[in-house]
A and B are shown apart, each in its own frame.
Chain A
Amino acid sequence: MADVVVVPQVQPVQPALRFLRIIPGVLLLGAIGYAGKLLEQNVGTYAKAHHWVFPNIEYVLWAILLGLLISNTIGVPELFRSGVATYEFWLKTGIVLLGSRFLLGDILKLGGVSLLLVAIEIVGAIAFMTLLGRLFKLKPKLTTLLAVGSAVCGVSAIIATKGAIDADDEDSSFSIAAILALGALALFTFPLIGHFFHLGDRAYGIWAGLAVDNTAEATAAGALYSDAAGKLAVLVKSTRNAMIGFVVLAYAIYWASQGQAKTVGNKAAFLWQKFPKFVLGFLLISVLATYQFFSKDQVGSLANLSRWAFLLTFAGVGLRTNFRDMRKQGLRPFAVGAIGEIVIAVFTLGLVVGAEKLFGF
């Protein structure tokens, strides 16, 4: 019989202590987000009163800009970092609550169209990024990470794929930095392009959900355009997120067949493990809202709660974007990512405009 050595666990941080550690950062997210909201309300009024010409900047942009300013000047002190990292939790909570503003019929109609567009986008983006990685002679696993990050859902997809294909830490941090930098650029360029082409809220929201990689940036890019565009961007991005398991599984099987990754045993369990559970929460709340489990006022309250959660997210997006750190990661993966993103953005814009004419959404 084999000896069984039970490795003693390193004493984990107590849940209460972990909770206390996140409080300063969450308060910082709240303070920045709320400052963004106050700036939205007051700057426009002040400018008007003093006859200044000043664009109407929404709280989304103010919160991101304030976060960027702190992150790229004084930096985020250690005390706040654990709490700032919770922005992704607020994002997913906000998305689940946003489900209350979608009726199941809308989801089935728009979800069906967006599923088709997402499938085309994923296949096109993976094929193009793989070709680009070969042209630029990037390492094959780095190319895989960039392809998954651009095609599916940014940082979460890269992290999920890294574990499944045994990629290097260096490759994944390259890819994450490239995707985050490009996401930050998309935040500012997408609304401008949308206005330039006079895109409607629906077309723009679907485009942002299809082409912006990270869920937080896609949500913000949509909300920067309009409330309705923000809703659509979240729906389409969630459809893309739901595909993550299938894409990661396909890559895991490919790299295992090359003898460069572990074989996937139970494929159904693998898919469930990678499936983003917040998509199910979003659908559940939407089903409850469709069957009038909530009154009209309660739906309004849930929508507002979702906005508060997004407010913390947008502050976090600014705070975690540090341009100096991104520059350190090198130019080649960034160049591949940038070329890929531009082509994907143009391709998906064409796809959305074509689908709008075809399906009339």
Chain B
Amino acid sequence: MSGQESAVQEKKPWRLSLDTWAVVVALLAALLVRAGVFKHIPW
């Protein structure tokens, strides 16, 4: 080292959390049901 400080930078990829994914998928499914893409989901 030449007396200079070294800083370490990490570049983290931007990611959605599991919770947020669950909300996105559920809302998308709800919108598809609302739009009539899925007419009836049986149980």
Task: Count chain B CB atoms within 10 A of each CB in A2, A88, A298, A307 and give the residue with the most.
Answer: A298
* Contact across chains for A9 and B11 when beta carbons are under 8 A apart: yes
Q: Is the interface of A mostly helix, strand, loop or mixed?
A: helix
Q: In the assembled complex, which residues on chain A have CB atoms less than 8 Å from the CB atom of B5?
A: 2-3
How far is it, in angstroms, between the C-alpha of A2 and the C-alpha of B8 when the chains are bound?
Answer: 10
List CB contacts (< 8 Å) of B26-42 with chain A: 26-27, 29-30, 33-34, 38, 40-42
Least Cβ distance of B12 to chain A in Å?
A: 9
**Also in contact, A5 and B17, with CB within 8 A (given A93-B26, A278-B22, A285-B27):** no
Number of interface residues of B (CB under 8 A): 28
- Does A262 interact with chain B (Cβ within 8 Å)? no
Q: In the assembled complex, which residues on chain A have CB atoms less than 8 Å from the CB atom of B25?
A: 89, 93
**Also in contact, A96 and B22, with CB within 8 A (given A4-B9, A5-B6, A5-B7):** yes
Q: In the assembled complex, which residues on chain A have CB atoms less than 8 Å from the CB atom of B7?
A: 2-5
- Does A232 interact with chain B (Cβ within 8 Å)? no
Q: Interface on A for B, CB 8 Å cutoff?
A: 1-7, 9, 12, 88-89, 92-93, 95-97, 100, 276-278, 280-281, 284-285, 288, 293-294, 297-298, 300-302, 304-305, 307-308
Contact sample, A vs B, 15 pairs, CB 8 Å cutoff: A3-B5, A3-B6, A5-B7, A89-B21, A93-B22, A93-B25, A93-B29, A95-B22, A96-B26, A97-B26, A284-B23, A285-B26, A300-B40, A301-B33, A302-B29
